[in-house]
Each structure stands twice: as structure tokens, then as C-alpha cells.
Amino acid sequence: MAGSQWELPPELCCRPMAFVALTGLDVVYNAVHRAIWDAFCANRRADRVPISFKVLPGDHEYPKCRTKRTSYEWYIPKGILKTGWMNKHLNLVPALVVLFYELDWDDPQWKEKQSECATKVEIVRTSLQGRNTKVAVVLIQKKTPLPPGEDLVASERAATLCNACDLSGKSLFVLPHTDHLVGYIIRLENAFYEHAQTYYYTEIRRVKSHKEFLNKTTHQLLFVRHQFKIAFFSELKQDTQNALKYYRTAYSLVHELRAHETNMLEIKTMAGFINYKICRLCFQHNTPLDAIAQFRKHIDLCKKKIGSAELAFEHAAWMSKQFQSFGELFDEAIKLGLTAIQTQNPGFYYQQAACYSQDRKQLSQQLCQAGATSPSSEPWDTQTGGLDFYGQRPWRQGHQSIDPPDAEKEKTGILALQIKERDVLHSELIIALLSNAVAQFKKYKCPRMKSHLMVQMGEEYYYAKDYTKALKLLDYVMCDYRTERWWGLLTAILTTALRCAYLMASVKDYIIYCMELLGRGKKEGSTESRSLWNDRMALAASNELTIEVQDYIPFIQCKAKFQCPSFHVDQPIQLQVFLRADCPHPVSFNKLAVSLSNQEYNQWCVVESAGQECMSLLPGKTKCHNFSFVAKTEDVGKKIELTGMELMLGSDSGRCVFLSWRGAGGDAASTHEALQASRSSRRWGREVEARQELDWDSLTMQHSTMIISRVPKISVQLSHRPPALNNEMYCINLTVQSQEGVVAKGVKLTAGLKPGQDANLGQTTHVSLDGSKVCDDTAPALLPDVPLGDLKPGEKLERCVYVNCVSTGSRVFLFHVAYSIDTTVEGRQIVCKCHKVEKVIIILLTVSTNTPQLQSQLQEVVLQTDECASECFCLRCPALANSNNTVATGQYLISWRSANSPLIQTVVTLPHVILESVPLYIHAELPSYGRVRESLSVRYHIENRTSLVQEVEMAVEPSDAFMFSGLKQVRLRILPGSEQQMLYNYYPLMAGYQTLPQLNISLPRCLTTNTHTLRRFLPQRIFVKPQGRQLDEASIAAA
Amino acid sequence: MAVCIAVIAKENYPLYIRSVPTQNELKFHYTVHTSLDVVEEKISAVGKSLGDQRELYLGLLYPTEDYKVYGYVTNSKVKFVIVVDSSNTSLRDNEIRSMFRKLHNSFTDVMCNPFHSPGNTIQSKAFDGIVSGMMVQTASTV
């Protein structure tokens, strides 16, 4: 893939980690070594030190170190950064080589083993000739080591081994192969990491030391190179803060380089690399604003550095890549927890990347003329071997002067690049970037931006000749633009979509888009579409298409209305259908059909062109079609709704298109227009009057009508005399008079309680036609369909209805007269119904009464409205016969009638009474009031009413309001039929209603008796008057 | 000063769009349309916190590579959008504000015209004049 030329090298994009080589491990055949290696590589989580390990054979050849230059005086650098450099330090030159060797301290062949180990170390050292790479030795031991200092043999032998290998003590490690392998490995790792850091530190020092030999005129490239290297080593050392600092210096140095056409690409490539590193580190340091600022600066600096005009597409490609890689960095940071906002999210960068890719496509179309012959493969000879320096031309590598060395070669080189560019699938790149951007904008709530990008994607698919996908995308967003009513944008999209549909030969889509383009959404210049439309329609293929217009904005508008919201059944129903064409030319159509909720009427609502004559619509003019039909009598009380309308364009013989509107018409745009019209209705109204023409926008749709019954010509009158009484046979007079011109047949009366009231009323209300018969529970609350016979014109008929109610409250009675009549208008029989509602209020009058034995005091009393009569009787209870304490008191029977109605008996059941027997009778004799601090004498009489001697205990409880004298507690006997008196002198202390001291009486002989009832005989309280003033004055006078 | 000036109705359909004739008109339509995303977001964010005490000027909506888009929303939710060339760095925030204020005044005049039906696209010479004034000035300075 040619685009890969612009990809950032993977060694730039990865996170640099210290490189440590492990030698002396046989991971294939030795299980112990395998386990050690696994412990190093498995489970490298974030908490472990960042090292990349590699197993190498002991005699591995490391990259040769070139002899160090002692002077830079005559040295002219050939480029900024070698392509292999980063990879070399990431994967080839280790910071530390670790030699693994199996050796126990008490090995019997210690001497031999020690020298073998020393040899191995020597081999590694030789292959690292000239490098500062550290060497360390790890002894793999079977035994667990003793704590340091206790094993004298071990420390002695360790010292000799170090000597033999020329190692410092810090570079010798012991790895006991026991259960705790992972723990040991982690400790080893940390030690390695320290060594590696020292290595990178010395490397940084080494690079820095070159600086003094450089001069600003010839070694500018080296300044950049060295800063970049220092920064990269700092990254390997995990010193990201310093790395960032050095990268920043490197970045500013890059832009100080003398830029000319031949090295522009190199400068931009390096600037891009360094910028990438800076942004990456900024995101890593959680300073996204720095990253964005750096990126903006980078773009501003590089935007104008186009380089060679013949290769301008390269610049666009490079710019696109810059934006894309920044977008990816941003996105990655978000995945790691950064929060982005609506106006600053990766989507913008992807979008811009796509934008530059589009530029690239355009430029390459301009610059890479087709037909150029493929040049000889000469310029690419070196390409196979790869470039030495980043961003240089393959045909003049290492060349740094302003003019190209060979003009001819330069030309073929450029041509070769152009030819290569011609084969790039730009659309694919653009679509990929756009879809990335769409995903981002979706996430950050930018629906319109998303739509915009989807349009671009659709267009790109169109260019890539993938029309199905293009149409799908465009169709999807068209809806949004339609509802937002951005006609300008919609038209642009429609035009593309129309082309797609044409190229796909999708007739239906084509016609739909044509229709919209011709419609009122389109602003101007639709003649082209018009001719296209005609072409299509003329195609002789018998095709039928139905288009549901409510989702589109077609060039014909349709509105329908019933003249009235309701029609009487004897009137013809009037329906108007308005059509209007918005296109610039007249449109002809062949058929207009309306479908209604009751399909039987549809036949009346069709208009078809007669013969060859087409009906036509003039642009901007409204045409009205009137339909009228007669409703069926079964439909009385029902609604007729418009379910749809169909307009046929074209003819049956050829191709025809049915436009179908749902309901009463209207399409995707009409709701808003109606609103708009209603806002300005007053003004429009005036204009309409002025020019006597229908204004389309102010036409309102009436999509349903109600069929209602014929207006009856009959009068129903009710007469009655309120109020109605409870239980009364209340008479209501009904008079029916016909005003019809012909005989009203089968007159029927429905009379009674109006349904829908309280359910209980139905049970307490009874209706009958027969006044003589007493109405009872069997009578219904409603008499349905009582036949009254026929009524001649002008004839009068009277009826009485009796109503009996057993509960009070108001009731609504319904009188409903129905008849059928032959109407002359349509020659059909129509049943007309008429009803009249009369409200009757019933008021209960309480009438009380007499027992058979007694003469009632109320006999012959007449009660007026709101009057009340009451009666009183004294009852004596017979001696208690049974254990049951309750006694029935019988019934109360009233015979009554209102002024001229039959006599009625009302029975009232009297309540039951509870009886109790008490052996004693007690009553108190006391004055009606007391006075504060004046003696108040109270005498209690206690009577024995039984035939037995009663023993009584009495006690008076103290009270705060009174002092008293008298017996406080006494026990006495009362003979049968005799009476005892107790006298107390109370002395009130407080004024007002005061509770008297309570007298407790108990009968020790018969405890069963409830003495509580006795208390009811005694007064509870007494009113105490305050001390009089006169008394005071009198006493003063006396004094 | 501006390369494109647009008035957008409360329901987000365009009442008026004028752009520098030399450049792709469609592109400006898209720019204005997409900027409504940010306008909507800003309105809803402010609506929650402050209620009526809203600043009409919304400031820089979003920067694209080539243009800066500024927004302004009247109390009746009619939006004004001004697109400025990114290269035009001399323009201050205050000047943008005053442009919006002028635009708003002129828009109010249009609304006060008894022959204008609110909700319809703006067809007014006076308004055209104000808008051209803001756009022509650019042509002279650039």
C-alpha cells in the first residue's frame, strides 16, 4: 500500500523501554531455563519495571560500533536522523547483557567452571567492542543461599569469580532455583533496571560531549540529531520530563534549519516525528492543553511548507497524517481517562485529516496526469534497500545542497512519485478518516457535524463508485436536513443522490429525488431535473410505483377537507381536494382517488381523465376538486375519516407513479407551513379577500366528519308539579306533537331514569305507566320502547308516567321519542330520533305518627314544604322475662298522601332498647347553684326497691374544688321499700362549673350488680357563682 | 470582517445566510449548520444554571482550520452566526460583539416591520446593507 510511506515508524510510536539481553539461557531444551525466561516475560504488568528482554545466544554479534570521531572539523552530515537508529537502540544494542551460568558455591569442579564462566564473559565483551554496555553474571544455583556473611566459602568464591571475570561485585547475582522464583526474578529485574539506567545516563553524557566540537554553519543537522538522541535516551531511561525538554529543543532546532525544496520533506518528516513525541509525552503527563498547543504551533509552522509544487499532494498527505496521528493520540489519552469536550475532541482532528486527504486527492488528480509512461525503475533502486535517513529522496540520498545534483534524475523521480500517487485509493483513506470522525462526533453530541461528515462520506463513496453505500448514507441524513429545513443543503445532497440513483438504475429512488428537487424545497435552476423527469416518465416500461409522500417534499401538494365537521344524514357530504404544483412547468395527471375509512364511499371520490385529455396543474395555482356523496343510515353516529389520497401521474399503459398522501394530505414540510400561515393569518385573510383567490398556506385540513341524525320535526313537552315526595306516585305528563309533513311511523317512547347516574338510584326509583297500580320493587327504573302508534301530521298525543322513589335526592329522567319517516330528499327511509331530558327533584318530607292503641297527635295535620312534625309517646316496659336485655319497641305506621294523590302507608321500625335492672335507686337533692365560700347542703336519698335487705357501702372522694362535712365513709343497711338519707355540707372553693365530690356506692352482698349505672342518677357537676360584691360592701359597712 | 453571516430561526432553520461570493457557498452553509451543535449545547448548559441572566454573546463556538465561528443568541432563541477567516487575527472579541449588536438591532428593525411575517426568511434591503457593510469591510482590509 502506497499510503504506508506516510505512516509513522513503529519504533517512534512505541513506548521506549530499556533493552536488556539475556544470554546463556537454553529456553528450548532446559526446563529450568525455560521457567526463568517465563518468569521474566509473563505477567509484565504496569507495576514491574519497564524493560524489554530478549534471549540471545552467548556469542551473539551486536551491531558494530563505528570508530569514534575525534574531530568534526571536516565532517559534513548527510541527514538528520538515520532510519535505523531508533530500532538499533530499542532492539539491537542492549543496555545490559546478562550471562546466566549454572554454578553452585560448593561445586566440586569449581575451578574449571569459574574459568569457563570467565571465558563466556570475555566472548560477550568482545562482541560488544567499543560500546558502554554493561555485563552482569547470574549464577543459577540449586541450593537456597545462606544469609549474607554466614557462608564464608560463598563470599570468598564470589570474590574470586568477580576477579576472574573482571566484574564488580554489584554485577554478580545469584538466582537460587527454588519455589520463590518470581520473587527472585523481580529483585533481579530491579537490579538490571538500575544498571540500564546508568548505561543510558552515560550514553546521554557521551552525546552531549559532542556538542563542543560542532559549529553552527556546517553542523546544523547534528544539533537536531543530538538533541533527538538525548531525548530518546532519556525516554529509555524513563526520564520523561527531561525527554520532553530535549524534544522541545530539538523541535525548535528543526525549524531553524535552512529549508529549501530539496530538504523540505526531510525537515517536515523530522518535525512530525518530534512533534509526535512531544504530544505523546504531554498526554502522558496529563497536560492535554500543552499537547494541543504544541500541535497547533506545529501545524501553523508547517502549513505553508509545501515544498515542490509538483509534489504538492505529498504535503497534503503529510498534513493529513499529522492530524490523524494527533487524533489517535488524543483518542488513546481519552481511553486512559482523559475527558474531552464537545468543541475539543479527536473528531475535529480526524475531520481535518480527512479534509487534507481530500485536498490530496484533488492535487493528485491535477498533478498526476494519466497516461504518463512508467519511467525506468532507476529512481527506486535504492528504495528496496530502504533509506539511510528519514525523509530523503531515494534518488539523491545524503544530498544536502540546495540544487539537486542531477536535474534529469530529479524529473524522473518526481514523475515516478506522481505515478505512484495515481494508484493510491484516496477515497478509501478519506472514508476511513471520516468514519473515525463520525464516531467521535457521535460521542460528543454533535448530530449536525455527524450529518455533515456523513454527507461527505456519501459523496466520497459516490466518487469511489460505490453507489449503494453512497445512497444509503445520503438517504439517512436527508431526513435530518429535511426536518431542520435547510433547503440549500438538502438540494445539494439530493443532486448527488439523484446521480447515484441514476447510475444505479433505481427508478423509484430516482423519481423520488426528482420529485423533491422539483418541489418547493428547491430554490432555483430545476429545469435540468425537469427534463430528466420527463425522460424517465417517457420510458416505455410498464412499471407501477407508489410513493408515500409523507416522508418527502414532493412538487405536488395536496390538502383535503370536509366542508363541515359534521353532516346530517339527509344532506350530501361535501369533500374538497386541493392540489397545487410547485414546479416551474405544468404537470398533468390522470387520476385522483380518495380513500375513506368506509370503503363503500370511495367509488364516489374518484376523478379520472377522460380519454386522451389529461388533467393538468399549473405552476403555483391551486386546483380544487369537489366530491359529494350520501352517507348510509347505518353510519349515523359514526365518523368518516380520510385515510389517504392517491394521485396518478403517467398512464396505465406506460409507466405510472402513484403519489399517495396519508390522511388529509400534507408532507414532511407542511406542518411548519401551516404554523407559519396561522401566525400571519390575519394579514393573509385580508389579502385573500382582496384578490379572491385561495391561499394555499391558510387552507386548513379537515380530515374527518361526523354523520349525525336528521333534525327531528316533532315537539315533546313535559309537565309536572314539583316537588316529588318520597314514596309518592309522582305523575309526569308527556305531550308529543308531530310537525312533520308526512306520517311519523312507529313512534316509540323510552321513559325512565337517565342511565349513567348513581347505580343505587336504579334500585330506589320505579317507573310505571299505570297510575292505578301501585309501583313496587318489581317495576323497572326505565321503560324502553313503549309503542305509541303512528302520528299524523299535526296530531297530538298525551301520556302520563308515574314515578315512585324511595330515597331522597335529585334524579334525572329521560324521555326519548323515536320514529321513522320517509324522507323525500333522497327517497330513502331514515329513522330520526329525538330526545328530551327533564330533571325531576324529589325531596323527602319527614312525617311521624301513631300506634294502634294511641291517638296520634298528628292526625289530620297538613305539612307544607320545609315543615317538620314530631310526636312523643311514653312507653312502659313489662317485667323482665328472659335473660335477653333488649326489648323491641314496635313499629310506627303513617298513612299519608299529598294533595291529590292516593293514600300511602309508610312504616318506620322503631329502635330496640337495652334494659338493665338496678336494686337501688338514688337521687340527690341539691340547689341549682352554689356560691364560692358559702355552704351548700346536698341530700342524697337512697331507696331500696327490692324485697331484700340491702347492705350499702358509701364513700365520698375528696375534691379540689370543695371542702365538705359529713360522713366520709359509711356502711349501712336499708330495709326493703325503705329509704335512707345522707346529708353533706359542701363548701365551694372555686367558681364556675365544678365537679362534685364523687359518691362511690357499692353493694358488698351482691357484687354482680353494676353500681356504675347508679352514678348516672347523680348530678356530676354544679355551677358555682363567684362571691358577690354587695356582700363585701355590706361587710365593710358592718366593719 | 466576516466571510459569512447567518441568522437562524428558533427552530434551527435558516432565515438568512450571506457569504463571500468568491468562495464555496455550500461549505459555509455546512459550517453554519454544524455550529448549531455547539450553540444548542451552550444554550442548554446556561439555561440550567442562570435562567434569564444569560449573556447573548456566546463567543467563539469552535475553530476550524480555516475559519473561526462566533455565535450569538437572542432572548427569543434566534441565533446569529458570524464566520471569520482564521488568518484575520486583527479582529478583537469586542469588535465581534459590536458586529453582533449591530446585527441584532437591524434584525429587530426587520421584525418590527408590519409587512414581515416572523418565521419567514428575511428579505430586507436595510438588513442586507448592514450585513454587506460587515462583509465588504473585509474585502478592503484583506
Q: What is the pLDDT of residue A1030?
A: 59
Query: For residue A584, which phi and psi values (nearest 5 degrees)?
Result: -75, -10
**B61 vs A: CB within 8 A:** yes
Nearest partner of A519 among A670, A417, A708, judged by Cα: A670
pLDDT tens digits, A804-863: 777 766 677 777 777 777 665 555 555 555 555 555 544 444 333 333 445 566 666 777
Cβ distance of A449 and B13 shorter than 8 Å: no
More confident of the two residues A843 and A956: A956
Q: Name the percent of chain A lying above pLDDT 90.
A: 11
Residues 6+ apart with CB under 8 A from A615: A588, A589, A590, A592, A607, A609
Contacts of A683 in chain B (CB under 8 A): 117
Q: What is the pLDDT of residue A892?
A: 72
Cβ distance of B62 and A672 shorter than 8 Å: no
Inter-axis angle of helices A467-484 and A447-463, nearest 10 = 150
Least CA distance to A296: which residue of chain B? B65
Q: How far apart are alpha carbons A702 and A574 in whole angstroms?
A: 11
Q: What is the pLDDT of residue A513?
A: 80
Q: Which of A426-435, A466-475, A560-569 has the lowest mean pLDDT?
A: A560-569
Q: How far apart are alpha carbons A571 and A639 in whole angstroms?
A: 15
Q: What is the least distance, in Å, from the CA of B38 to any CA of chain A?
A: 7
Q: What is the ipTM of this complex?
A: 0.90
Cβ distance of B13 and A484 shorter than 8 Å: yes
Residues 6+ apart with CB under 8 A from A28: A34
Residue in B14, B25, B33 closest to A448 by CB: B33
Cβ distance of A343 and B62 shorter than 8 Å: yes
pLDDT tens digits, A615-658: 777 777 788 888 888 777 777 778 888 888 888 877 666 667 77
Q: What is the least distance, in Å, from the CA of B30 to any CA of chain A?
A: 7
Q: What is the pLDDT of residue A372?
A: 54
**B97 vs A: CB within 8 A:** no
Q: How far apart are alpha carbons A450 and A446 in whole angstroms?
A: 6
Contacts of B7 in chain A (CB under 8 A): none
Least CA distance to A684: which residue of chain B? B117
- What burial letters (b/e) apply to A316-352, b meaning 16+ CB within 10 Å? bbbbbbbbbbbbbbbbebbeeeeebebbbbbbbbbbb
**A352 vs B: CB within 8 A:** yes
Cβ distance of B37 and A447 shorter than 8 Å: yes
Chain centre to alpha carbon of residue A7: 41
Task: Report the residue of A292, A343, A495 to disrupt the B interface, i.e. the one with the largest count of B CBs within 10 Å.
Answer: A343
Q: What is the mean pLDDT of residues A947-951?
A: 83
Task: Report the residue of B8, B35, B37 to disrupt the A interface, i.e. the one with the largest count of A CBs within 10 Å.
Answer: B37
Q: Residues, chain A, total?
A: 1039
Q: Average pLDDT of chain B?
A: 83
Contacts of B118 in chain A (CB under 8 A): 679-680
Contacts of B12 in chain A (CB under 8 A): 484
Pairs from A202-207 (Cβ < 8 Å, separation ≥ 24)? A202/A132, A203/A132, A203/A233, A204/A230, A204/A233, A204/A234, A204/A237, A206/A132, A207/A233
pLDDT tens digits, A16-61: 899 999 988 888 888 888 888 888 888 777 778 888 888 888 778 8
Cβ distance of B14 and A488 shorter than 8 Å: yes
Q: What is the pLDDT of residue A882?
A: 55
pTM assigned to the model = 0.68
The size of the A-B interface in CB pairs under 8 A is: 59
Cβ distance of B120 and A676 shorter than 8 Å: yes
- Is residue A76's pLDDT more than 70? yes
* Residue the block writes with cell 570467565: A118
**A449 vs B: CB within 8 A:** yes
* Residue the block writes with cell 385515510: A643
- Is residue B86's pLDDT more than 60? yes
Positive/negative CA dihedral, A771, A773, A774, A779: negative
- Determine the 3-state secondary structure of A654 from DSSP: coil
Q: How far apart are alpha carbons A419 and A313 in whole angstroms?
A: 12
- Determine the 3-state secondary structure of A174 from DSSP: strand
- Determine the 3-state secondary structure of A809 from DSSP: strand
- Is residue A290's pLDDT more than 80? yes
**A1026 vs B: CB within 8 A:** no
The answer to whether the peptide bond before residue A9 is cis (omega within 30 degrees of 0) is no
Residues 6+ apart with CB under 8 A from A239: none
Task: Report the residue of B35, B43, B65 to disrupt the A interface, i.e. the one with the largest count of A CBs within 10 Å.
Answer: B65
Q: Average pLDDT of chain A?
A: 78
Q: Exposed, middle or buried by CB within 10 Å (0-12, 13-18, 19+), for B61?
A: buried
Contact B6, B81 (CB under 8 A): yes
Q: What is the pLDDT of residue A349?
A: 92
Q: How far apart are alpha carbons A850 and A855 in whole angstroms?
A: 6
